[in-house]
Amino acid sequence: MNTALVHRTDERVGVVVADLAERGFRVDVPAQERSAVTEDLAARGQLTHVEEPDPFAYALVVDASAHLKGVAPDARSSGSSARNATGAVVLVGGGPGDPGLLTVAGLEAVKQADVVVYDRLAPLASLAHARPDAELVNVGKIPRGEFTPQETINALLVERARDGKQVVRLKGGDNFVFGRGGEEWIACADAGVPVTLVPGVTSAIAVPALAGIPLTHRSLTQGFSVVSGHVPPGDPRCTVDWRSLATGGLTIVVLMGVANLRAIAGELQRHGLAPTTPAACIADGATPTQRHVVTPLADLADAVAQGGLEPPAITVIGDVVTALGGADG
């Protein structure tokens, strides 16, 4: 695999890295250009910081600040008749990470947009198909790091639409599955801004499938439950009925739960779920750095820590984890 050196990075460097990865390049970034965004990408295995890199040693050297200019030959021109003078917002679910899992309708919305407001987990390579004159706005939220308040995102969508822009809100997964899409919809509707939705492939289903785990399997389970693990069991803010999950006989899928896995596993066992129940945690699903661990429930938190798995990650608990002979490597 060839390696590209990306320099003059800015907050859109994730778009550049994803585009290069799609073309088969590993990516290095000068260590002196280290930022919260590049640190996040490096932690997810998508780039490497290098001290004083030699540009002549690379197959490709990319100026990130100019990379997106003119890279969308199939995009519509700034004078496209598709532009609506009244402005509107389209909430687009980008799927679990692989740009190939962005729907046809979602990609078409990106191509037509005047403004794309995107998250760190959106399929960033798809932004190479945006119009060359489109405004790309990064509002990604780095766990325990930089973030854009949801109220600011809501206001941005409304403001750009009121300026007559066609605005795409591009998120990973599906906007209405722990994506705060409902809040963005309400903000637009309350402001009188037209808003529509392009559903996305939710990571809750797609990522386990890509790891070889079916959420349902005949004779094992007749359904699955998807819950957020962001708030731990026992916290007054937690509304998840862990007792029902432990005794319900359904596959349990936990999103945003890496930091609370020990508490979650303990709570499920306290309510009767066997410590030997198969469990899996899949990190960076649907990306080139996807990795996972499979372990008994009692050992889940330790296995995830030892494996160095970090968010974003999907946790699956139930006999389906080993239904196909173990999760696919």
* Catalytically active residues, by annotation: 119, 141, 256
**SS3 for 31?**
helix
C-alpha 145/C-alpha 86 separation (Å) is 36
Place of tokens 């519509």: 76
Q: Indicate the angle between helix axes 150-162 and 181-190, nearest 10 degrees.
A: 40
- What is the phi/psi pair of residue 25, to 5°? -100, 140
Q: Which of 103, 160, 162 is nearest to 137 (CA)?
A: 160
Locate 169 and state its tokens: 């809100």
Strand ranges across the sheet with 195-198 = 135-138, 115-118, 166-171, 88-93, 195-198
Q: Indicate the angle between helix axes 13-22 and 36-43, nearest 10 degrees.
A: 30
Q: How far is CA 189 from CA 86, 112, 193, 194, 293, in A?
A: 14, 22, 6, 7, 42
3-state secondary structure 161-195: HHCCCEEEEEECECCCCCCCHHHHHHHHHHCCCCE
Q: What is the CA radius of gyration of the chain?
A: 21
**SS3 for 129?**
helix
Q: Is 186 left (phi over 0), alpha (psi -120 to 50) or beta?
A: alpha
